[in-house]
Amino acid sequence: MDETLAGPEKIVLDCDPGHDDAIALLLAHGSPRIELLAVTTVAGNQTLPKVMRNALSVARIAGMTGVPFAAGADRPLVRPIRLAPSIHGESGLDGPQLPEPSIRLDPRHAVDLIIDIVLEHEPGSVTLVPTGALTNIALAARMEPRIVDRVKRVVLMGGAVQGGNWSPVAEFNIVIDPEAAAIVFEAGWDVTMVGLDVTHQALATQEVVERIRRIDTAPARFVGELLDFFGSTYRDAQGFEHPPVHDPCAVAHVIDPGVVRATRMPIVVETAGVHTLGMTVADRRRPAPVGCRTSAALELDHARLWDLIVDALERIGDPG
Ligand code: BDR
Ligand code: CA
């Protein structure tokens, strides 16, 4: 089908805001190519109560109404919880002043909400976009295995074909719950890994930050303040000159696969390695075999990514 004639992509954003998760949420809300069906949260960057509150604060800043928000898993499937205050601060969203949430949480557990949404919609119409640990998604696949065939695809921020950030070979979202990640990568649905290979190129350069500040709306000023804090922790903790804005890359791939380009390859998750726990092992020795349903994003169009984010912020405007 001609993609330009198709309607917006229906997504569920499963996140742990988190500075880059917050920007991913704004991108999903502001993009005319996305229909945001629900926002669910999972412990990761900070504890579940903190990331849930952060998601609701972002919703208020963006003037979001009518989208259900639900809290999910408060810890990984089997391992003790590991948080990321060195990157996201004690609140999980340090930097800007956060408004009190104004919308009420959906009473359902995130896993139930994800299952309900997938079963309520046409088979093949809902894309899951996890930008945190894969705990909720793995639980949903286990609790209601029918969703595996009904989901259109899973486009996740996590992993890397090469390298890591939380260990030499593992990325944070995968290594904090590797068993959940293994379930998601091996479930049999279409999985696109938008990992560090591209997200480490998604830098919020000075030029990008100035462009966002020039929009001069409350949500854009909020993003500017997020990027100030994110820039300072990424400089101190990981030596980056400009912060890599990971999570919006997954949303951008759903909006336009030409902006974040992926290649089919078999990918599995290491759950038993002493030094390699949480590594996403991608087999690039030969072309992907017929029937391979995993892909990795390898190329990013930096200018177009930030065009999408700026455009979304302009469309959101000043909700007041
Ligand atoms: C991932 O880890 C989190 O800190 C970010 O929000 C992103 O999802 C990057 O490794
Ligand atoms: Ca995240």
Assess if residue 83 is contained within a domain. Answer: yes
User: Does residue 34 surpass a pLDDT of 50?
Assistant: yes
pLDDT band at 6 (very low <50, low <70, confident <90, very high): confident
Assess if residue 1 is contained within a domain. Answer: no
Q: Find the mean pLDDT for residues 101-115.
A: 97
**Centroid of chain to Cα 158:** 8
Assess if residue 302 is contained within a domain. Answer: yes
Q: Find the mean pLDDT for residues 179-186.
A: 99
- Domain residue limits at 280: 7-316
Assess if residue 252 is contained within a domain. Answer: yes
pLDDT band at 1 (very low <50, low <70, confident <90, very high): very low
Assess if residue 218 is contained within a domain. Answer: yes
pLDDT band at 4 (very low <50, low <70, confident <90, very high): low
246 C-beta closer than 6 A to ligand 1:
yes
**Count of domains forming the chain:** 1
21 C-beta closer than 6 A to ligand 1:
yes
User: Does residue 161 surpass a pLDDT of 90?
Assistant: yes
Predicted TM-score (pTM) above 0.85 = yes
Mean pLDDT value across the chain: 97
Interhelix angle 110-120/135-143, nearest 10 degrees: 60
Residue from 240, 237, 241, 261 nearest 249 by CA: 261
Q: Which atom of ligand 1 is nearest to the CA of 246?
A: 7
Q: Which atom of ligand 1 is nearest to the CA of 17?
A: 6
Percent over 90 (pLDDT), the chain = 98
Mutating to test ligand 1, I would choose from 135, 157, 230 the residue with most ligand atoms within 8 A of its C-beta, which is 157
pLDDT digits 0-9 by tens, 89-98: 999 999 999 9
Q: Find the mean pLDDT for residues 156-167.
A: 98
Assess if residue 2 is contained within a domain. Answer: no
C-beta separation of 280 from 54 below 8 A: no
Q: Which H/E stretch holds residue 155?
A: strand 151-157
C-beta separation of 15 from 131 below 8 A: yes
**Token pair 């994003």 in the structure block, residue:** 297
Instruction: Provide the CATH number for the domain around residue 24.
Output: 3.90.245.10
177 C-beta closer than 6 A to ligand 1:
no
Catalytic residue among 19, 246, 275, 302: 246
Alpha carbon of 45 to ligand 1 centroid (Å): 7
pLDDT digits 0-9 by tens, 248-305: 999 999 999 999 999 999 999 999 999 999 999 999 999 999 999 999 999 999 999 9
Percent over 70 (pLDDT), the chain = 98
Assess if residue 201 is contained within a domain. Answer: yes
pLDDT band at 314 (very low <50, low <70, confident <90, very high): very high
Q: Give Dmax over CA atoms of the chain in angstroms.
A: 53
247 C-beta closer than 6 A to ligand 1:
yes
Q: What is the pLDDT of residue 155?
A: 99
Q: Which H/E stretch holds residue 36?
A: strand 34-41
Q: What is the pLDDT of residue 320?
A: 80
Active-site annotation holds for 246: yes
